[in-house]
Chain A
Amino acid sequence: MIFERGHFIYEFWVARFSLLAGLWTTVSTSFLTIVIGSALGLVLGLVLAYGIWPLRFLARFYVDVIRGIPLLVLILFAYYGLALFKISVTPYWAGVIALSAFCVSHVAETVRGAIQSVPAGQDEAAKAIGLPFLKRVRYVILPQALRRVLPPWVNTALEMVKGTTLLSVIGVVELLLASQQAIARNYLILQFYLAATLFYFIVNFAIAQLAAALERRFRRFKY
């Protein structure tokens, strides 16, 4: 019967609290990563586009290095490495730091590309009415750039959500590791992996579709 030991529904019910806790960790790490990564990424993107050359060079170096390293290596490096600096962080925060560092570089590159894709005439027209630099960026360039940032930004955000599964490798009990722990007890390998897979699929697919719909609505502005 369904409500017997060894049946998926039963085992799922038994594991419900640890799965929920895992889900919460997935949500919170994703959220923190995307917020921190986007905020710092915006700043770094501005540096890439407008910074004086030593700053721009450093930013470029950071972005290119991070984007050349696998996320998993970043996570492991942060996990083992931060301790060396006498920074004692939990695996949770080591993971969030690594994921954010990764997110920053991708957002920064996206922001830079979007800023530079705004036609030069826009900046010149803004100059011609006497807007100083910061106001040109704030009122003319960024509104147009951010519109272009949306699709790749959503993409990066989804990558981050998926990337939180890598935290399982350093022992952060997010949804994947919580599922594996359940599997370790009940051996329902296919069922629990399938459940987790479907969960990620539904959530990410929904977000992606939502973003695509938003993007289509914006498209009427033709810029």
Chain B
Amino acid sequence: MALLEARNVQKHFGSVEVLKSIDLDVEQGQVVALIGASGSGKTTFLRCINLLEQYDAGSIALDGEVVGFTSDGRRRPLSERRVSAQRARIGMVFQQFNLFPHMTAEQNVMLGLTKVQGKAKDEAATIARHWLDRVGLSERRDHYPYQLSGGQQQRVAIARAVAMSPRLMLFDEATSALDPELVAEVLAVIQDLAKSGMTMLLVSHEMLFVRDVASKVVFMDGGRIAQAGPPEEVFHHPENERLKTFLGRFHGMFGQPV
């Protein structure tokens, strides 16, 4: 059984079908990268996994447990309590960081530990410091978000998510809102997490990074998965015309003709 199993996931906004039928497995310890043109439904898929959106049909299961709905076939939405508990096992990092502006870096990381996991303040603080240290911000733990650069804010956001010891981490274009010179520091942190065995599903437009870090690359097009496989295969033997065009832009970067 894969850690994450998505089966025939569908989602529409009004009359627009945004996810047409997504099937995807993410194994324990695997790093899966979602790529695709903007508007292809990558963000929507991640948000469905974390229940920030309700998917309309199909199922998403984490550790064999359907997220968001009862699995008795009647597909009733779960209670707010159950949903929150499920979300706590999935970490998410947003494009816009979304740090809590009225809390220091450390308080940001501690909030979920104390209020969701019920840990004591001391223990939570120890964990928070550990993770802030891990993302290279031990010096900044008493800073407020407005006192941090974009890259630092995003690293705090990553620490806030991983401190909850999630089973799965979701990254939605974690570096897209950053100035180019700040991208590398955040990618390094993500890569470090990947090496430590964290299971991740990430959306990124940093193709070199994706090729390095991902064990599986999934190309989405128009709300469907058009191609999935190891990075070498997807990047060097694109089956899909759109993917060829898409990768054409990165031609030079891979040093080989696509």
On A, residues with C-beta under 8 Å from B are 119, 121-122, 124-133, 135, 139-140, 143-144, 147, 220-223
> Who on chain A is nearest to B84 by CB?
A132
Contact B52 A131 (CB under 8 A): no
A131-B111 in contact given A121-B98, A125-B94, A147-B102 (Cβ < 8 Å)? yes
> Who on chain A is nearest to B109 by CB?
A129
Contact A129 B102 (CB under 8 A): no
Contact B85 A124 (CB under 8 A): no
> Who on chain B is nearest to A220 by CB?
B146
Classify chain B's interface size: 20 to 34
Contact B112 A130 (CB under 8 A): yes
Give the CA-CA distance A144 to B103 in the complex, in Å.
Answer: 10
Smallest CB separation, B218 vs chain A (Å): 21
Smallest CB separation, A80 vs chain B (Å): 46
Q: Which residues of A contact B160 (CB under 8 A)?
A: 129
Which of B80, B101, B116 sits near A222, CB closer than 8 Å? B101
Q: Which residues of A contact B111 (CB under 8 A)?
A: 129, 131, 139-140
Q: List 12 A-B contacts (CB under 8 A).
A: A121-B98, A127-B51, A128-B87, A129-B87, A129-B116, A129-B164, A130-B87, A135-B115, A143-B102, A221-B102, A222-B146, A223-B146
Which of A132, A144, A147, A221 sits near B80, CB closer than 8 Å? A132
Which of A124, A125, A144 sits near B102, CB closer than 8 Å? A144
On B, residues with C-beta under 8 Å from A are 50-52, 80-81, 84-92, 94, 96, 98-102, 111-112, 115-116, 144, 146, 157, 160-161, 164
> Who on chain A is nearest to B86 by CB?
A130
Smallest CB separation, A221 vs chain B (Å): 6
Which of B86, B90, B98, B144 sits near A125, CB closer than 8 Å? B98
A128-B80 in contact given A121-B98, A122-B98, A223-B102 (Cβ < 8 Å)? no
Q: Which residues of A contact B85 (CB under 8 A)?
A: 130
A131-B115 in contact given A121-B96, A221-B146 (Cβ < 8 Å)? yes
> Who on chain A is nearest to B51 by CB?
A127
Smallest CB separation, B100 vs chain A (Å): 6
Which of B50, B98, B115, B146 sits near A139, CB closer than 8 Å? B115
Smallest CB separation, A205 vs chain B (Å): 30
Smallest CB separation, A145 vs chain B (Å): 10
Give the CA-CA distance A125 to B90 in the complex, in Å.
Answer: 12
Smallest CB separation, A120 vs chain B (Å): 9
Give the CA-CA distance A132 to B161 in the complex, in Å.
Answer: 16
Q: Which residues of A contact B164 (CB under 8 A)?
A: 129-130
Interface contacts beyond A130-B85, A144-B102, A221-B102: sample of 7 additional A-B pairs, CB < 8 Å, sorted by A = A121-B94, A125-B94, A129-B87, A129-B112, A129-B160, A130-B164, A131-B111
Q: Which residues of B contact A130 (CB under 8 A)?
A: 84-89, 112, 116, 164
Smallest CB separation, B103 vs chain A (Å): 8
Interface centre among A122, A139, A222 (most CB of B within 10 A): A139
Give the CA-CA distance A130 to B112 in the complex, in Å.
Answer: 7
Contact A129 B52 (CB under 8 A): no
Interface centre among B52, B84, B85, B161 (most CB of A within 10 A): B84
Give the CA-CA distance A131 to B111 in the complex, in Å.
Answer: 9
Q: Which residues of B contact A126 (CB under 8 A)?
A: 100
Give the CA-CA distance A222 to B143 in the complex, in Å.
Answer: 13
Smallest CB separation, A85 vs chain B (Å): 39
Contact B144 A131 (CB under 8 A): no
Q: Which residues of B contact A122 (CB under 8 A)?
A: 98, 100
Give the CA-CA distance A80 to B243 in the complex, in Å.
Answer: 77
Q: Which residues of B contact A129 (CB under 8 A)?
A: 87-88, 91, 111-112, 116, 160-161, 164
Give the CA-CA distance A143 to B102 in the complex, in Å.
Answer: 7
Give the CA-CA distance A105 to B214 in the complex, in Å.
Answer: 55
Nearest 6 pairs of A and B residues by beta carbon: A130-B88, A223-B101, A129-B112, A125-B98, A128-B92, A121-B98
Q: Which residues of B contact A125 (CB under 8 A)?
A: 92, 94, 98-100, 157
Contact B98 A124 (CB under 8 A): yes
Give the CA-CA distance A221 to B103 in the complex, in Å.
Answer: 10
Give the CA-CA distance A126 to B52 in the complex, in Å.
Answer: 11
Give the CA-CA distance A129 to B161 in the complex, in Å.
Answer: 7
> Who on chain B is nearest to A121 by CB?
B98
Give the CA-CA distance A127 to B87 in the complex, in Å.
Answer: 7
